[in-house]
């Protein structure tokens, strides 16, 4: 929750904003302090510069990638109040929750991992359906420039909802999805990781799937505050973050 509060303290993390520059500097600093090998990747997409942060740990080929987007949406165009639809989205859940879980994993993951792990913080995910923009620009640029084979890519997005219901996502790789959902059940979290599929998402896992890389989107899309000014700290839960973080940690450390 502290990681979410810190992100919200920067204000909206929309492209080219002061908040965006602040979170970028903070991410680089925290990951370096935790002993990860950190790289800032810059790519121009649709005339916009995507700044993806890549943190690596572990030896060997075919790493496992865990990703989340850190940018927030330019306009709260789903807000109940028409007067507020030109305001930026605060992004407590949509953006900050996934980043918070990845940063906690950066802190607790051991250096001697069963597989090498990359933690990737994607830029320019959240401004589709706006003129001059599209969805998932940062992750598309990342995959287009990927030079090695990944074992798997797991995306966490909107996983802090106080009423956590993570359904299986239709486009995700079933075998990889089953591994993670089975791990959640072993930890007693089956009431949050639901076995029924519900949504087919365009999210940061999409470019990996298109490239033939096994990928999963862990997302609770039943979130009434999505793309509104009400996506604020009171809508997220430390327990929900714990459920997802515990599951991913146990899955990553399983021999």
Give me the pLDDT at residue 200, please.
98
Give me the pLDDT at residue 78, please.
98
Which band of pLDDT confidence, cut at 50, 70 and 90, is reported for residue 60? confident
Q: Check if the beta carbon of residue 160 is closer than 8 Å to that of residue 242.
A: no
Q: What is the mean pLDDT of residues 147-170?
A: 97
Give me the pLDDT at residue 255, please.
81
Percent share of the chain, pLDDT over 70: 100
Sheet with 117-122, side-by-side order of all strands: 37-45, 48-57, 117-122, 64-69, 152-157, 215-219
Say if strands 193-197 and 166-168 run parallel, antiparallel, or are unpaired: parallel
Which band of pLDDT confidence, cut at 50, 70 and 90, is reported for residue 169? very high
Give me the pLDDT at residue 31, please.
98
Distance between CA 233 and CA 5 in Å, rounded?
7
What's the total number of domains in the chain?
1
Give me the pLDDT at residue 237, please.
98
The pLDDT mean for the chain works out to: 97
- Specify the pTM: 0.97
Token code pair at residue 138: 């940062």
Which band of pLDDT confidence, cut at 50, 70 and 90, is reported for residue 59? confident
- Is the model's pLDDT at 99 over the cut of 90? yes
Angle subtended at Cα 240 by Cα 219 and Cα 55, rounded to the nearest 5 degrees: 65
User: Which is more confidently placed, 111 or 177?
Assistant: 177
DSSP 119: E
DSSP 191: T
Kindly report the CATH number assigned to the domain that includes residue 109: 3.40.630.10
- Is the model's pLDDT at 143 over the cut of 90? yes
Distance between CA 23 and CA 7 in Å, rounded?
7
Token code pair at residue 121: 């913080």
Say if strands 117-122 and 48-57 run parallel, antiparallel, or are unpaired: antiparallel
Q: Which range marks the domain in which residue 97 is found?
A: 2-253
- Is the model's pLDDT at 61 over the cut of 90? no
Residue 133 half-sphere exposure toward CB, CA atoms < 13 A: 19
Token code pair at residue 191: 């009431």
Give me the pLDDT at residue 52, please.
98
Token code pair at residue 125: 């995910």
Residue 79 half-sphere exposure toward CB, CA atoms < 13 A: 20
- Is the model's pLDDT at 38 over the cut of 90? yes
């Amino acid at each position: 929750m502290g990681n979410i509060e810190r992100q919200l303290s920067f204000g909206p993390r929309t492209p080219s904003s002061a908040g965006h520059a602040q979170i970028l500097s903070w991410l680089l600093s925290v990951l370096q302090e935790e002993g990860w090998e950190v790289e800032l990747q810059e790519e121009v997409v649709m005339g916009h510069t995507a700044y993806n942060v890549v943190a690596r740990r572990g030896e060997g080929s075919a790493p496992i990638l865990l990703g989340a987007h850190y940018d927030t949406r330019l306009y709260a165009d789903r807000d109940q109040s028409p007067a507020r639809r030109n305001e930026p989205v605060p992004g407590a859940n949509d953006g900050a929750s996934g980043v918070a879980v990845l940063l906690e994993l950066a802190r607790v993951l051991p250096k001697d991992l069963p597989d090498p792990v990359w933690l990737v913080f994607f830029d320019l995910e959240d401004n589709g359906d706006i003129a001059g923009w599209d969805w998932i620009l940062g992750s598309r640029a990342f995959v287009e420039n990927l030079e090695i084979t990944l074992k798997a890519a797991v995306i966490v997005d909107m996983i802090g909802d106080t009423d956590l219901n993570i359904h299986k996502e239709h486009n995700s790789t079933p075998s990889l999805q089953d591994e993670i959902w089975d791990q959640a059940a072993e930890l007693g979290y089956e009431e949050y990781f639901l076995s029924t599929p519900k949504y087919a998402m365009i999210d940061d896992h999409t470019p990996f799937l298109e490239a033939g890389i096994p990928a999963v989107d862990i997302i609770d899309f039943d979130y009434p505050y999505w793309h509104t000014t009400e996506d604020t700290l009171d809508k997220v839960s430390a327990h929900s973050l714990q459920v997802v973080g515990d599951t991913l940690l146990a899955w990553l450390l399983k021999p």
